[in-house]
Amino acid sequence: MFMTKESIAERIQQELIRLTQHPKAKSIATQVIDSEYQTMKTKHLSELVTATQFDSFKQSASDLAVSYLAIDDKAQQPLHQLMPNFISFLENKVAKKLTDVIIENASEHLSPIMKKINLRQLVEEQINTFDLDYIEKLIIDIANKELKLIMFLGFLLGGIIGLLQGVIAIFV
């Protein structure tokens, strides 16, 4: 009956999901991502990727290529057998490795991107655009959930006290 941390978090999460679907939020995120992309285009690769990261990627890419290109075995196969294998190689190994690299780099840059998006201000602006009736309804919904158990306890205690007073009045 009481609003738990989980139910409050779920309610806030629903509102945040609704907020992210808002066209204004999408346009702000698009603008920030586009501006980041434009600034990254002007930078050199050495500014974005460290030498050790580049060497690691270069080594893993060359290892994958060498392991796939077993020249002695492949020279004896017809091309129609090689191409489907190459396509599956791209789909399975290269795509997985590329996805891992993208996720790793995105996770490193997520904090600065979130700071530039300024989610706190975006949420505050969206809350300020809410209609007063909607906010009132939201507060009343939360209060009703919290007060149901209190009302039930009051009903139960009032009934017990009234019953005891009635019994005492009969015997006195």
- The whole-model pTM stands at 0.32
Tens digit of each residue's pLDDT (9 = 90 or more) over 22-63 = 788 788 888 888 888 888 888 887 777 788 888 888 888 887
DSSP line for 123-157: HHHHHHHS-HHHHHHHHHHHHHHHHHHHHHHHHHH
Tens digit of each residue's pLDDT (9 = 90 or more) over 128-170 = 888 888 888 888 888 888 888 888 899 999 999 999 999 999 9
Q: What is the CA radius of gyration of the chain?
A: 31
Tell me the angle at which helices 23-42 and 95-117 cross, rounded to the nearest 10 degrees.
110
Q: How confident is the model at residue 2 (pLDDT cuts 50, 70, 90)?
A: low
Q: 104: which 2 tokens?
A: 């790793």
Going along 38-139, which residue ranges are E strands? none
Q: To the nearest whole number, what is the mean pLDDT of the chain?
A: 81
Q: How confident is the model at residue 76 (pLDDT cuts 50, 70, 90)?
A: confident
Residue 154 has what pLDDT? 92
Question: Domain ranges in the chain?
Answer: 5-129, 132-172
Residue 162 has what pLDDT? 93
Q: Give the lowest-confidence range in 45-49, 69-73, 91-95, 150-154.
A: 69-73
User: What is the number of alpha carbons within 13 Å of residue 121 lying toward its C-beta?
Assistant: 8
Query: Is the pLDDT higher at 75 or at 28?
Result: 28
In 3-state terms, what secondary structure has residue 164?
Answer: helix
